[in-house]
């Protein structure tokens, strides 16, 4: 503390005077010690303790600064120690196998604490989240590692012999980014709660993997499927031979429901804890491939049966339509025959030939009916130009001489004229080209 005018405070002045007094007393003590032959170092040590006691009585601000400096030094030492341990973690770690799968980290840590301080225990787990029986124990010093690996020293846990060796670390496996596009990740097919309550979690996981395989094999050839039970998202990872198959799988599975849960599907994003072995699962490829082939064959058989049924139905409908058309034709023919039977042209009736196909050059020729064959229904027509033909009634147009009568208005001038009738309109009851009243006579 200082006064507002810049001079020393009363406290600082008093401390300065006390320091000067102690310095003078120290000099006297050293002088007297030299006179009496006392050890100089003993006197210096005594005075050092006095000055240390004095330093402990400094002002509160200086004490806080001292504490801060001390804390900073401790923090720095801790950081250096942690960095040193991290740098030597590989050298200060041992690989342990044969660990009972039901034990915890604490049991392993307590066991190896006999060799020295244990900083970390890592127990490896399989894809289903269960202990594999091996792990890494990291010590706080190299001396503890030496003690753990001491020749002749045996380690056992719950009666199980443990194998202890220096740890070697390889780079963590990862998936080449070029392969990400052919890997699909489906989440929601199972939960960790289901696994914990299942009587056989391994069998449950195996069933889910194979069900996913069979369901998604329709999109393309699958190389491997694996559930990652230790992952909180509970993903099922499928690696396909082609990226197009993986994309089709994602589109098909996204949003679907499985066991009352909506699935989420996406392409692999490089997650380091969802890495499968690079090799193809040959056993499942063969076994499940046969199941997939049989399912496809069954689907093809069903599709062929459906197509055959559709073709048969089409043929049935066509046959029914043909039968209906035939019946209609026969009915029309019967009706025409009946009509023909009702209509008879008398002998000496003048007719014009129409609708001939076999002898189109005779169409328009005029002749007279000589007779009719009752068996065939054909009329014998003697042509005006010479010759005779046996023709159906449909090819004969009856002709008659008519006199026009009763015309009024603008057409009154044609009354009394003679003409030739060449047919009758069934709808209007009119002669072709001339309407009105007719007096008919033979030609």
- Tens of pLDDT, residues 79-137: 776 666 666 667 889 999 999 989 888 999 999 999 999 988 999 888 677 888 999 99
Residue 244 has pLDDT above 90, yes or no: yes
Among 21-25, 144-148, 336-340, the range scoring the smallest mean pLDDT is 336-340
The Cα 251–Cα 220 span in angstroms is 13
- CATH code for the domain of 245: 3.30.70.330
Mean pLDDT value across the chain: 81
Are 393 and 417 in a shared domain?
A: no
CA dist 57 and 42 (Å) reads: 24
- Is residue 234 within 8 Å of 163, Cβ to Cβ? no
Predicted pLDDT at 140:
87
**Percentage, residues of the chain above pLDDT 90:** 41
For residue 345, the 8-state DSSP code is P
**pLDDT at residue 32 above 80?**
no
The residue from 55, 82, 109 where one domain ends is 82
Determine, yes or no, domain membership for 130: yes
Shared-domain flag, residues 65 and 143: no
| DSSP H or E run through 162 | strand 160-166
In a domain, 289, yes or no: no
Highest mean pLDDT among 5-14, 390-399, 407-416: 390-399
Predicted confidence (pLDDT) at residue 417 exceeds the cutoff of 50: yes
Query: What's the pLDDT score for residue 438?
Result: 44
Which parts of 124-228 fold into alpha helices (H)? 142-148, 192-197, 201-216
User: What's the pTM value of the predicted model, to 2 decimals?
Assistant: 0.41
pLDDT for residue 36 is more than 60: no
Between 189 and 331, whose confidence is greater?
189
Give the up-direction half-sphere exposure of residue 427: CA atoms within 13 A in the CB hemisphere. 0
pLDDT number for residue 14: 79
276 plus 189 within the same structural domain: yes
Tell me, what's the pLDDT at 394?
Answer: 85
208, 219: one domain: yes
Which residue, 29, 59, 82, sits at the end of a domain? Answer: 82
Domain identity same for 184 and 272: yes
Do 393 and 408 reside in the same domain of the chain? no
CATH code of residue 367: 2.30.30
Residue 72: pLDDT band with limits 50, 70, 90: confident
Do 106 and 62 sit in the same domain of this protein?
A: no
pLDDT per position as a tens digit, 269-288? 998 889 998 899 999 999 99
Instruction: Indicate whether 285 belongs to any domain.
Output: no
Q: How far apart are CA 7 and CA 189, in angstroms?
A: 80
User: Which single residue is written with the structure tokens 């026009």?
Assistant: 404
10 Å Cβ neighbour count for 244? Answer: 13
In a domain, 148, yes or no: yes
What's the token pair of residue 365? 């020729």
pLDDT of residue 65: 77
Please say which residue of 82, 100, 126 terminates a domain: 82
In a domain, residue 6? The reply is no
Task: Give domain status of residue 1, yes or no.
Answer: no
Q: Which domain holds residue 194?
A: 180-280
**145-183 pLDDT per residue, tens:** 999 999 888 999 988 899 999 988 776 678 899 999 999
Pairing of strands 264-267, 350-353: unpaired
Residue 410: is it exposed, middle or buried by C-beta count within 10 angstroms (0-12/13-18/19+)? exposed
Given this model, what pLDDT does residue 437 score?
Answer: 45
What pLDDT is recorded for position 42?
57
- Mark whether 199 and 274 lie in a shared domain: yes
My answer on whether 372 and 361 are in the same domain is: yes
Asked if 202 and 276 sit in the same domain, the reply is yes
The pLDDT value recorded for residue 73 is 82
For the cut 90, the answer to whether the pLDDT of residue 254 exceeds it is: yes
288 part of a folded domain = no
Q: Indicate whether 20 and 102 sit together in one domain.
A: no
- How many domains does the structure of the chain reveal? 6
Average pLDDT over residues 189-195: 92
- Mode of pairing for the β-strands spanning 264-267 and 261-262: unpaired
371 and 361 in a common domain:
yes
Task: Please indicate, yes or no, if residue 51 is contained in any of the structural domains.
Answer: yes
419-440 residue pLDDT tens: 655 554 434 344 444 434 444 4
């Amino acid at each position: 503390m200082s006064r507002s005018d810049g001079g020393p405070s009363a406290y600082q002045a008093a401390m300065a005077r006390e320091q000067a007094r102690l310095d003078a007393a120290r000099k006297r003590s050293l002088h007297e010690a030299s006179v009496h032959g006392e050890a100089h170092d003993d006197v210096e040590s005594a005075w050092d303790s006095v000055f240390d006691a004095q330093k402990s009585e400094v002002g509160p601000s200086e004490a806080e600064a001292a504490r801060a400096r001390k804390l900073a030094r401790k923090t720095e030492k801790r950081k250096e120690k942690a960095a040193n341990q991290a740098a030597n973690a590989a050298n200060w770690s041992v690989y342990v196998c044969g660990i009972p799968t039901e034990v915890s980290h604490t049991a392993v840590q307590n066991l190896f604490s006999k060799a020295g301080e244990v900083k970390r225990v890592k127990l490896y787990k399989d894809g289903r989240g269960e202990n594999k029986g091996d792990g890494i124990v990291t010590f706080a010093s190299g001396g503890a590692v030496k003690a753990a690996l001491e020749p002749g020293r045996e380690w056992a846990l719950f009666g199980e012999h443990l194998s202890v060796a220096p740890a070697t670390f390889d780079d963590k496996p990862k998936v080449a980014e070029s392969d990400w596009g052919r890997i699909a990740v489906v989440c929601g097919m199972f939960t960790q709660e289901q696994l914990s309550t299942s009587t056989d979690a391994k069998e449950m996981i195996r069933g889910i993997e194979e069900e996913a395989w069979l369901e998604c094999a329709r999109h393309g050839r699958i190389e491997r499927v694996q559930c990652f039970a230790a992952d909180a998202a509970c993903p099922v990872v499928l690696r396909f031979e082609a990226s197009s198959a993986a994309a089709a799988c994602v589109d098909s599975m996204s949003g679907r429901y499985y066991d009352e849960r909506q699935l989420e599907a996406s392409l692999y994003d490089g997650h380091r804890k969802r890495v499968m072995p690079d090799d193809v699962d040959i056993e499942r490829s063969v076994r499940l491939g046969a199941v997939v082939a049989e399912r496809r064959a069954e689907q093809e058989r069903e599709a062929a049966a459906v197509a055959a049924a559709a073709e048969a139905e089409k043929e049935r409908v066509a046959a029914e339509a043909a039968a209906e058309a035939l019946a209609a034709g026969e009915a029309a023919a019967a009706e025409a025959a009946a009509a023909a039977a009702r209509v008879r042209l008398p002998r000496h009736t003048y007719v014009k030939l129409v609708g001939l196909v076999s002898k189109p050059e005779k169409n328009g020729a005029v002749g007279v009916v000589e007779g009719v064959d009752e068996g065939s229904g054909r009329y014998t027509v003697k042509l005006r130009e010479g010759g005779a033909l046996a023709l159906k009634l449909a090819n004969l147009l009856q002709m008659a001489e008519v006199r026009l009568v009763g015309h009024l208005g603008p057409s009154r001038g044609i009354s009394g004229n003679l003409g030739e009738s060449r047919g009758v309109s069934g709808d209007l009851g009119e002669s072709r080209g001339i309407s009105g009243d007719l007096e008919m006579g033979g030609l």
